[in-house]
Structure 1
Amino acid sequence: MTPADPERVIAAARSWLGTPYHDQASLRGVGCDCLGLARGVWREVVGPEPFPVPPYSRDWGEIAPREVLADGARSMMIEIAPAEITPGALLLFRMMPRAIAKHVGIVTTPGTFLHADERLGVIEEPLTPAWRRRIAFAFLFPDRT
């Protein structure tokens, strides 16, 4: 698989800035959660979603027995080491130690990322040491070809 152009990924992601937070949604300007943001960027950069996302509860990450997001991303994206992240990479974060990865963001510059915050909607913010410590997995979007 060839990676998608990172500038295209970043432009697609930034077009979601200001979208309000809404669980399980993926509609730019209307509402999305962190997974919905990634799904929207996928649709713009890669094409139709390869499979439907089943409904999920707000606490799914606390009760899931396996790395659901990582397994799904691994089946259709290019996995890279978290130490090798570059702009355009999709990040999966562990929000608590020893928990599964349940939050998604997209790197926009070497020091910033974009994600859907429950209170603020889709925002771009610094990829601080606290956020970097939480990175569990990283992936690149594939090119359409």
Structure 2
Amino acid sequence: MTAAIGERVVAAAEGWIGTPYRHQASLKGVGCDCLGLVRGVWREIYGDEPEAPPAYAPDWAERGSEERLLSAAGRHFLPVGSVDAALPGDVLVFRWRAGCAAKHIGILCGGGRFIHAYEQAAVIRSPLVPAWRRKVVAAFRFPAVGGSAGAG
């Protein structure tokens, strides 16, 4: 990723700060969940989304072990590996508990912080403290504009 795409991603994500949390939504200033935030940033940078997400219940990850979020990220983003290799603008994927599917995503914004839509709150900037950092299971990079991450 060039520094320019990372800067564009962070700038776009910062524009969503304060958007209320709304399950399955993705409309800046109106409502979004964590996936909706990343979808909205994607639209701002690339235009159309590469695929429409299926409907999902708030507890979808607790009811099955299918790694739907990780699979989708792998189809459309470039794998970075660990959080230690992540740069500002990269997508962090979180798993709440062992044995459950990864369920939360956010965008690293530098300075040891990330931007995410947090249930019962809004899109916020949070410190990537050890309690959050331990939950990161993967990091992905937005592809270059005009580039392609995978088959998606």
Q: Structures share a fold, TM > 0.5?
A: yes
Q: Deviations over 1:66-100 (max 9, x none)?
A: 21111111011101112311111101100112321
Indicate the RMSD between aligned Cα atoms, in angstroms.
Answer: 1.3
Instruction: Please report how far the alpha carbon of residue 133 of structure 1 lies from its aligned counterpart in structure 2 after TM superposition.
Output: 0.3
CA–CA distance in structure 1, aligned partners of residues 11 and 28 of structure 2: 13
The residue that corresponds to 1:123 in the other structure is 124
The residue that corresponds to 1:38 in the other structure is 38
The residue that corresponds to 1:102 in the other structure is 103
Unaligned stretches of 5+ in structure 1? none
Unaligned stretches of 5+ in structure 2? 147-152
CA–CA distance in structure 2, aligned partners of residues 80 and 137 of structure 1: 7
The residue that corresponds to 2:149 in the other structure is none
**Misfit runs of 4+, over 4 Å:** none
CA–CA distance in structure 1, aligned partners of residues 64 and 100 of structure 2: 9
Q: Deviations over 1:84-134 (max 9, x none)?
A: 111111011001123211001000014000001112200001000111100
The residue that corresponds to 1:6 in the other structure is 6
The residue that corresponds to 1:70 in the other structure is 70
Q: Deviations over 1:26-83 (max 9, x none)?
A: 0000000000000001111222101111110011011133211111110111011123
Aligned residues of 2:20 and 2:123 also touching (Cα < 8 A): yes
TM-score (norm 2): 0.90
The farther-off stretch of 134-143 and 45-54 is 45-54
CA–CA distance in structure 1, aligned partners of residues 40 and 110 of structure 2: 20
The residue that corresponds to 1:53 in the other structure is 53
The residue that corresponds to 1:85 in the other structure is 86
TM-score (norm 1): 0.94
